[in-house]
């Protein structure tokens, strides 16, 4: 009876895997396609203290990550995943942007130090809470 239960649980687990995910066929998209007009035209501040408009991004693919520098669990993983993806996207016109969710802590200087520590090379943005709330 125990083996029968193990078999049933195993079959249920295997049947819950989406088709194609085990073989790597197809592309799984986990995100949103946004029209440029739907992106708020707020000027944020980059890690060098310069103004940065999200409307100036012209890449075919733009990935926006929402992080904060005092995060010790998922944010370093997100940044590392972007670093890994960047190393595999040689023929793709892309841009990564990281935007803080903690503007009270994440000044341009703090974001720059975070970038240098992580090895990230893409823009890291902060700004006024009112502007960031519209972007989030």
As given in the structure block, the two tokens for residue 45 are 């501040």
Q: Which residues pair with 69 in a beta bridge?
A: none
Residue 19 reports pLDDT greater than 90:
no
pLDDT band at 22 (very low <50, low <70, confident <90, very high): very low
Cα-based distances in Å from 56 to 16, 61, 74, 85: 42, 13, 28, 22
Averaged confidence pLDDT in the chain: 81
State yes or no: pLDDT of 86 exceeds 70: yes
Phi and psi torsions of 101, nearest 5°:
-110, 10
pLDDT at 6: 47
67 neighbors 77 (Cβ within 8 angstroms): no
What is the per-residue pLDDT for 104?
96
Decide yes or no: CATH 3.40.50.720 for domain 32-135. no
Token readout for 109 is: 């200087």
pLDDT mean over 73-89: 91
- Whole-model pTM: value is 0.73
Buried-exposed string 20-32: b where 16+ CB fall within 10 A, e elsewhere: eeeeeeeeeeeee
């Amino acid at each position: 009876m125990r083996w029968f239960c193990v078999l049933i649980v195993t079959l249920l687990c295997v049947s819950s895997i989406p088709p194609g995910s085990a073989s790597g066929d197809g592309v799984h998209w986990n995100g949103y396609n946004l029209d440029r007009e739907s992106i708020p035209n707020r000027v944020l501040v980059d890690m060098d203290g310069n103004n940065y408009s999200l409307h100036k991004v012209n890449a075919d693919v733009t990935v926006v990550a929402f992080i904060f520098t005092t995060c010790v669990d998922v944010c370093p993983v997100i940044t590392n995943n972007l670093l890994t993806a960047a190393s595999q996207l040689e023929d793709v016109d892309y841009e990564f942007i990281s935007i803080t969710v903690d503007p009270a802590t994440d000044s341009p200087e703090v974001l720059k130090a975070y970038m240098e520590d992580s090895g990230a090379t893409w823009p890291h943005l902060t700004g006024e809470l009112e502007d960031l709330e519209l972007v989030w």
